[in-house]
Amino acid sequence: MGIPHFLAIPFPILGHMNPLMQFSQVLAKYGCKITFLSSDETYDKLKSECAGNSKVMESHIKLVSLPDGVDPEDDRRDQAKVIFTTINTMRAKLPKLIEDINAVNTDNKVSCIIVTKNMGWALEVGRQLGIKGALFWPASATSLASFNSIQKLVDEGIVDSKSGLPTQNEQIQLSSHLPLMEATAMPWYCSNNAFFFLHMKQEMQNLNQGEWWLCNTTFDLESGAFSTSPKLLPIGPLLAHDHHNINSLGQEDTTCIEWLDQQPPQSVIYVSFGSMVSLKPNQFKELALALDLLKRPFIWVVRKGNGLEEKNEYPREFKGSQGKIVGWAPQKKILCHPATACFISHCGWNSTIEGVYNGVPFLCWPFCSDQLMNKTYICHVWKVGLGFDKDQNGLILREEIKKKVEHILGDEEIKGRSSKLMEMVVKNKAQGDQNLNKFINWAKE
Residue 232's CATH number? 3.40.50.2000
Rounded to 5°, angle at Cα 246 from 242 and 248: 150
* Whole-angstrom distance, CA of residue 107 vs CA of residue 96: 18
What pLDDT, on the 0 to 100 scale, is given for residue 349?
93
Q: Are residues 241 and 269 in the same domain?
A: no
Residues 123 and 261 in one domain: no
Fill in the amino acid letter for 193. Answer: N
Write down the pLDDT at residue 58: 61
User: Which residue type sits at 346?
Assistant: H
Q: How much is the pLDDT for 317?
A: 94
Greatest pairwise CA separation for the chain in angstroms: 66
**Three-class secondary structure of residue 142 per DSSP:** helix
* Whole-number pLDDT of residue 411: 98
Q: How many CB atoms lie within 10 A of CB 67?
A: 14
If asked whether residues 312 and 163 sit together in one domain, one would say: no
Nearest by Cα to 45 from 21, 28, 29: 21
CA–CA gap between residue 365 and residue 386 (Å, rounded): 9
Spatial distance between the Cα atoms of 239 and 216, rounded to a whole number of angstroms: 9
Do the domain assignments include residue 211?
yes
Residue pair 283/395 in contact by the 8 Å Cβ criterion: yes
221 and 152 share one domain: yes
Distance, in Å, from the CA atom of 259 to the CA atom of 272, rounded to the nearest integer, reads 17
pLDDT at 248: 43
- Are 48 and 177 found together in one domain? yes
**Is the same domain home to 267 and 387?**
yes
> Residue 326's beta-bridge partner residues?
301
Report the distance separating Cα 233 and Cα 134, nearest Å: 11
3 state DSSP class of 323: coil
Residue count of the chain: 445
Please give the single-letter amino acid code of residue 119.
M
Q: In terms of domains, do 233 and 292 share one?
A: no
Are residues 177 and 266 located together in one domain of the fold?
A: no
- Report whether the peptide linkage leading into residue 95 is cis, meaning its omega lies within 30 degrees of zero: no
CB atoms within 10 A of CB 358: 19
Shared domain for 231 and 90, answered yes or no, is yes
CB-CB contact of 134 with 211 (8 Å): yes
The reported pLDDT for the residue numbered 311 is 66
Give the type of residue at 53.
N
Residue range 246-298, pLDDT digits in tens: 544 457 888 999 999 999 999 999 999 988 788 999 999 999 999 999 999 99
Amino acid at 328: W
Query: What's the confidence (pLDDT) of residue 50?
Result: 74
- Phi/psi of residue 112, each to 5°? -155, 135
- Residue 250 belongs to some domain of the structure: no
Residues 420, 430 share a domain: no
Strands, E assignment, 22-169: 33-39, 61-66, 112-115, 132-137
Rounded CA-CA distance 321/325 in Å is 10
For residue 231, give its domain range. 5-245+425-444
Look at strands 181-182 and 171-172 and give their pairing: antiparallel
pLDDT in tens, 111-151: 999 999 999 999 999 999 999 999 999 899 999 999 999 99
The per-residue DSSP string of 35-75 comes to EEEEEHHHHHHHHHHHGGGHHHHHHHEEEEEE-----TTS-
Mean pLDDT in runs of 10 for the chain (445 residues)? Answer: 91 85 92 94 81 65 92 79 89 97 94 96 97 95 96 93 86 92 86 82 96 96 96 88 51 90 98 89 96 97 66 88 93 96 96 97 94 96 98 97 98 98 96 96 94
> What are the two backbone dihedrals, phi and then psi, of residue 192, each rounded to the nearest 5 degrees?
45, 45
Q: How many domains does the chain have?
A: 2
At residue 109, what is the residue type? K
Closest listed residue to residue 102, CA positions, set 126, 123, 85, 77: 126
pTM (2 d.p.): 0.92
Distance CA 103, CA 388 (A): 56
